[in-house]
Structure 1
Amino acid sequence: MEQKSKFDKVMGAWDILVIAFGAMIGWGWVINSGDWITTAGFAGSIMAMLIGGLMVIFVGLTYAELTSAMPQCGGEHIFSYRAMGATGSFICTWMIILGYVATSAFEATALPTVITYLFPDFNQVYLYTVAGRDIYLTTIVLGVAVAIFITAINLAGAKTAAILQTVLTAAIAIAGILLVVGSAINGDMSNISGQVWESGAGTTVSSVFKVACMTPFLFIGFDVIPQAAEEINVPYKKVGRIMLLSIFLAVLWYLLIVFAVCYIMPDSAIAAEMGAQNGLVTAKAIELAFHTPVMGKVLIIGGLCGIVTSWNSFLMGGSRALYSMGESRMIPKRFGELGKFKTPKDAILLCGLACCIAPFFGRSVLVWLVDAASFGCVIAYLFVSISFCILRKKRPDMARPYKVKAGKFVGAMAVIMAGFMTLLYIVPASFSAALVWQEWVVVGTWLALGVFFYCYSRKKYGAEFGRDIFVITDDTKEKADADKEAISIVSAKEKYTGRKHFVITVGCEYGSGGPEIGRMIAEHFGIEYYDRDLVDKVVAELGVDEDLVREADNRKDVRYGFDTSYGVRYANLSNRVIDAQFKVIREFAEKSSCVIIGRSSDYILRDRTDVMNVFIYAPEEDEVKNIMKSEGLSEQEARSKRSLIEKAQHARHLYITGTERGDRRSRDIMVNSSMIGWEETADYLISVIERRFDMEKKALPKEA
């Protein structure tokens, strides 16, 4: 289904860079650097970051190409849908949402925890204990208050969220740069030589992989860019480059942090700090670099800013992923609607609600969520990498403003590395980070919830489930306008002499190529083509929400009498849509020569003498194959969708006309489009139309 973007393009190059980079650097470098170094040592940590970074770079290359080719809200949802169909897209998007929402919820508990490093007496009014950790009223109030603030910022618009991100990312960068510069000036290489390798997880190799397993959580964030693609006012080729730049900067950032800590602190100092109450090695490192505890506070403030930048980005990404699923009717459609500020209001509110609930459970429980979130992200990365490979083979002609060189190699490496990371979370081994049983409970619960929504939405929305939304971008519109202008020029040169007014109605079975063949006919004659325009015109006529009109337009159980199934406000909506279509189709036919697709237009225009009624069909197996190819569906999904749509169209045509849709008595010509192919069928119909309306081609002047 084609539609214009509903979002405002408000974000520039800098905005998307800080959204991605700010999410990736976050606050993990403040909290976890001591864990990396004591587990794998200096060289082991560097190697682990490079392994994780390499995986993300290969995956990032696939994202960069796919985002430039399909710049639509939802990112992973769109990529996987075009490659794998509705079911593959559902799994991929559902898992990335787990990553975004779980990480956002964790930040709501992390913030009060970091505050206690600045204000040791912050925890006041004990309430209860969860998983061995005490819960205090002050931590709940702070976590909920900041959750409400960030939710409000995101509701106010993507640009507002981007401005907040810029300010906070600058604060993080200042704190990190101070650490690196101070360490470089006052550190000593002997500190590194004493902790080159560690084997805190068993062997050196297992220690390196143990740290490498932490990197997906660190590098989550670049994928927020494709989630908000429709809100970005940047050339698509440049978007891909910015995404890769954010990844390179994040990898460099973590490498510098590891170097700075090890260069200023010997292994004994790091071990001592890890055994202290706070265990913030980076804060201690900057204190040693500048010889004052004040700088430790400065760095912790940078860590607080990092919590908010990650939180802000993931809430933005999670809400857009939910929006894309709602718009495709994979979850309740209310999540696919925008609010007054052109943001997905209900999706943002749902993510915000999860963040408000999180502080009541405490950090211990939510640590399980973080590991489950990382697992969800690598699953999504794997699906996107596979989608990249499929689309390279399936759609080689797809426009790719940013096209990756050595695509087969990049795609294969992305699949291998993302697959390897996925296995590290599944297979228990000394070098893996396999999920513990509590984390499997989280993943299992999330999957069960996904199965529920999948089944519920398929039943509720029928053929609308998993609908493919093709957003017409400015570039697409410009090309369409240029094509239309070219057609007008051909018409102006009078391709035919003495051409009369005529109308072609095209009824068709789903998957037979009727709309495509109808468009070829319209382009040949340089006349108007009406398909989705009918819905737009009816929306304007009735003043009713577009989604309601589309649902009523495709409904098979149209009711006689007073129908309030859409609510009293929209009483008799299906019949009102049909009445409006009668009026609109007659207006189109009167205005100019045209091709009209479906909507029982043959019946509506039955009293006109300048109409030729065409019906296009094909064997069911051919129609199913066409649907599979054009929509990326499995055979079962394509067959099910065809059956649902055909039943709805037959029922509506019978309700409107009292006759069967394929009744030869209401058609002038019926054609099997599979017999000679769509283009040849269009050429054949063009020749019939020329004879039917006595068109004579204008003789072209002979060359001298």
Structure 2
Amino acid sequence: MAELKKSLGVFQLLAFGVAGVVGSSWIYTNSTLFDSYGSGGVVFGLAIGVLLATCVALAYSELTTAFPRAGGEVVYSYTSMGRGPAFFTGWMLLGAYVSSLAFYVTAFGYLLGNFFPVFNTIPLYTINGETVYLPVLLVGVVLTVLFFALNWFGIEVGAQVQLALFVAIIVIGAALVVVGFTTGSPDNFFPAYHPENSAIADTLRFVVPSMTFLAGFGLVAVLAEDARISARKIGRTVVITVLGAGGFYCLVLAATAWVHPWEEIAAMDLGTVSAFDAAGFPLLGIGAYLIAFLGLLTSFLGLFVASSRILVAMGRANLLPAQLAAIHPKRRIPHISLIFTAAVTLGLGWLGPGAVVWFLDTGGVYLGIVWCMVVIAKYLLPRRYPELERPYVSRLWFLPAVGAIGALLVIVWAIVPGTGASLVWPAEYIILGVWMVLGIVLYAVSRAKPRTEALRALLGDSYEHLHRHEVEAQRRESE
């Protein structure tokens, strides 16, 4: 079985992880968050959410060090639980990633439309109250083709682009934080809650939605086979990704409420952008908007790459057509999966944000399920393979379970009506149901691969490590 080319170093992998997590809309929509939860609810609730996500990341770290293979979550589920759970995990992950990719097709053009009115001309059609304009759609198509081309010639090309964008985000974010805290005042941040609300209640209310801010840290595990660093370093990078992205969110949001009174920001239109502009730093306001652009690009590129690796893993185990696992003999890229990812992205992206938001909102449910499956795999693996040597095992063994509770809350928060983040009835519940049914149908018609053969394809060299006693016995018999 052909292997992917190992091209990613620590910084490239970290760039895919952190920059893939840091999205775009949070930087200019935090006015609404301040209005709902207060500055304290947002910053402190997010900090708790980061800790819960880190608990889940510990499970990822353990499993990634044991199995540094493409499509991480699919590999973990298949190894510890079998074919059905592996398909379920991969299908949920694809649902989350593809939904985001489809949204990004038109999102960048709509952001540009805030500065250049020409992008909001030549209307094509309207879906769910949102009109799709020709220039917006063309920008999305060009971006998709560009990201496809970057990866077609090897992930190292896309990785360098991702790293450059990541550095730009960090530099601008650092400027916002330094200026915000050095020129602002604690009187702008405190009191940090609405006087009529409970501080504890507002903080806890934001914990669950804050965890969705961190969706995407699994990119590191998905891209593990592309990394040229040790498995132990890959595992550490997963945790660093969560802490790095979460710290970035907290610092920028806190600086926003520090540089200008958060009660006034809550009444503004563009969150951090408006706050720094009102505080007398219009260039930093533009810089905040630039973070939105860069964050969208990095998330788009990261999820594009990751989706193709999930398809590779599912193809290797015959969970989806085996052709998806094909690796180009010269460039050692998953060329079929890349073509399929681009086709699906464009196939859904043309619907525009009015329709794609229905898909996007269900992503929180999918990711919550995936996180739970990874934590379950972490606890089942040593029982199924008690002699397995794991390079890294968390001493605080119970922490991933705590993170799984947070993941379950994300699922409940979205599915149960009336939570404030519930799915939209009936469209989003229908989409969730259709995705589940489609998965069941695809699983039912797929041809099962013998477990040993599937594990060898999924694990590569890791298979002999996992079954070393079995392999040694076979060698002795052959001798």
By the TM > 0.5 criterion, same fold? yes
Aligned equivalent of 2:372: 382
> Which aligned pairs between 1:583-594 and structure 2 lie closer than 5 A?
none
- Report the AA paired with residue 443 of structure 1: L
> Which aligned pairs between 1:6-45 and structure 2 lie closer than 5 A?
6-45=3-42
Aligned equivalent of 1:165: 162
| Distance change >3 Å, CA 374–CA 462, structure 1 → 2 | same
- Report the AA paired with residue 395 of structure 2: K
Paired residues in the alignment total 476
| Distance change >3 Å, CA 328–CA 234, structure 1 → 2 | same
Shift of 1:99: 1.2
Q: Is the 8 A contact 1:144 1:355 kept in 2?
A: no
* Consecutive unaligned residues in structure 2, runs of 5 or more: none
Shift of 1:465: 11
Q: Is the 8 A contact 2:413 2:419 kept in 1?
A: no
- Report the AA paired with residue 296 of structure 2: I
| Greater Cα offset, 36-45 or 463-472 | 463-472
Aligned equivalent of 2:185: 188
Aligned equivalent of 2:226: 231
Aligned equivalent of 2:384: 394
Aligned equivalent of 2:291: 302
| Distance change >3 Å, CA 237–CA 463, structure 1 → 2 | closer
Shift of 1:224: 1.0
Aligned equivalent of 1:421: 410
Q: Does 1:346 align with 2:336?
A: yes
For residues 81 and 249 of structure 2, what CA distance do their matches in structure 1 show? 35
Q: Does 1:65 align with 2:67?
A: no
Aligned equivalent of 2:476: 520
For residues 404 and 212 of structure 2, what CA distance do their matches in structure 1 show? 18
Shift of 1:121: 4.0
Q: Is the 8 A contact 1:329 1:464 kept in 2?
A: no
| Distance change >3 Å, CA 179–CA 112, structure 1 → 2 | same
TM-score by length of 2: 0.92
Shift of 1:234: 0.8
Shift of 1:467: 2.3
For residues 34 and 110 of structure 1, what CA distance do their matches in structure 2 show? 20
| Distance change >3 Å, CA 180–CA 322, structure 1 → 2 | same
For residues 299 and 458 of structure 2, what CA distance do their matches in structure 1 show? 30
Please identify which structure carries the higher strand content: 1
Aligned equivalent of 1:91: 88
Question: Per-residue CA shift, 1:415-453, capped at 9, x if unaligned?
Answer: 322223222222234466455432222211211221121
| Distance change >3 Å, CA 182–CA 436, structure 1 → 2 | farther
Which of the numbers 214, 218, 227 marks the counterpart of 1:219?
A: 214
Shift of 1:357: 3.4
Which of the numbers 123, 142, 147 marks the counterpart of 1:145?
A: 142
- Report the AA paired with residue 237 of structure 2: I
Aligned equivalent of 1:603: none
SS of alignment partner, residue 156 of structure 2? helix
Q: Is the 8 A contact 2:75 2:459 kept in 1?
A: no
- Report the AA paired with residue 402 of structure 1: Y
Aligned equivalent of 1:532: none
Highest RCO, 1 vs 2 (Cα 8 Å, sep ≥ 6): 2
Shift of 1:195: 4.3
Aligned equivalent of 2:347: 357
SS of alignment partner, residue 443 of structure 1? helix
Q: Does 1:54 align with 2:51?
A: yes
Question: Per-residue CA shift, 1:157-202, capped at 9, x if unaligned?
Answer: 2211110110111111122112112211221222212542478xx9
- Report the AA paired with residue 390 of structure 1: L
Q: Is the 8 A contact 1:44 1:197 kept in 2?
A: no
For residues 295 and 43 of structure 1, what CA distance do their matches in structure 2 show? 23
Question: Per-residue CA shift, 1:386-413, capped at 9, x if unaligned?
Answer: 1111113332321211221132x12432
Shift of 1:351: 1.9
For residues 238 and 155 of structure 1, what CA distance do their matches in structure 2 show? 26
For residues 44 and 331 of structure 1, what CA distance do their matches in structure 2 show? 43
| Distance change >3 Å, CA 321–CA 294, structure 1 → 2 | same
> Which aligned pairs between 1:297-696 and structure 2 lie closer than 5 A?
297-339=286-328, 340-407=330-397, 409-430=398-419, 433-434=422-423, 436-458=425-447, 463=450, 467-468=454-455, 469-473=457-461, 518-522=474-478, 527=479
SS of alignment partner, residue 369 of structure 1? helix
For residues 122 and 155 of structure 1, what CA distance do their matches in structure 2 show? 29
For residues 518 and 182 of structure 1, what CA distance do their matches in structure 2 show? 65
Aligned equivalent of 1:287: 277
Which of the numbers 125, 128, 131 marks the counterpart of 1:131?
A: 128
Aligned equivalent of 1:548: none
Aligned equivalent of 1:492: none
SS of alignment partner, residue 304 of structure 2? helix
| Greater Cα offset, 433-442 or 147-156 | 433-442
Aligned equivalent of 1:265: 260
Question: Per-residue CA shift, 1:631-666, capped at 9, x if unaligned?
Answer: xxxxxxxxxxxxxxxxxxxxxxxxxxxxxxxxxxxx
For residues 450 and 195 of structure 2, what CA distance do their matches in structure 1 show? 57
SS of alignment partner, residue 47 of structure 2? helix
For residues 235 and 518 of structure 1, what CA distance do their matches in structure 2 show? 29
- Report the AA paired with residue 381 of structure 2: L
SS of alignment partner, residue 113 of structure 2? helix
For residues 162 and 100 of structure 2, what CA distance do their matches in structure 1 show? 17
Q: Is the 8 A contact 2:209 2:410 kept in 1?
A: no
| Distance change >3 Å, CA 391–CA 135, structure 1 → 2 | same
| Distance change >3 Å, CA 516–CA 166, structure 1 → 2 | closer
Question: Per-residue CA shift, 1:335-372, capped at 9, x if unaligned?
Answer: 11123421212222222123323442221222222221
Q: Does 1:79 align with 2:76?
A: yes
SS of alignment partner, residue 135 of structure 1? strand
Shift of 1:309: 0.4
Shift of 1:475: 11
Q: Is the 8 A contact 1:52 1:213 kept in 2?
A: yes
Q: Does 1:100 align with 2:97?
A: yes
| Distance change >3 Å, CA 439–CA 12, structure 1 → 2 | same
SS of alignment partner, residue 342 of structure 1? coil
Root-mean-square deviation (CA, aligned residues, Å) is 2.6
SS of alignment partner, residue 170 of structure 1? helix
SS of alignment partner, residue 129 of structure 1? strand
For residues 67 and 198 of structure 1, what CA distance do their matches in structure 2 show? 46
SS of alignment partner, residue 32 of structure 1? helix
Shift of 1:223: 0.6
For residues 250 and 281 of structure 2, what CA distance do their matches in structure 1 show? 24
Question: Per-residue CA shift, 1:319-347, capped at 9, x if unaligned?
Answer: 11111111111111111112342121222
For residues 465 and 138 of structure 1, what CA distance do their matches in structure 2 show? 51
| Distance change >3 Å, CA 474–CA 392, structure 1 → 2 | closer
For residues 398 and 303 of structure 1, what CA distance do their matches in structure 2 show? 44
Shift of 1:516: 7.0
- Report the AA paired with residue 388 of structure 2: M
Shift of 1:17: 0.7
Shift of 1:218: 1.7
- Report the AA paired with residue 244 of structure 2: L
Question: Per-residue CA shift, 1:208-257, capped at 9, x if unaligned?
Answer: 45533333432122211111211111111111112111111111111112
For residues 172 and 150 of structure 1, what CA distance do their matches in structure 2 show? 19
Question: Per-residue CA shift, 1:433-482, capped at 9, x if unaligned?
Answer: 45543222221121122112111213xx56589822254449979x99xx
Shift of 1:294: 3.6
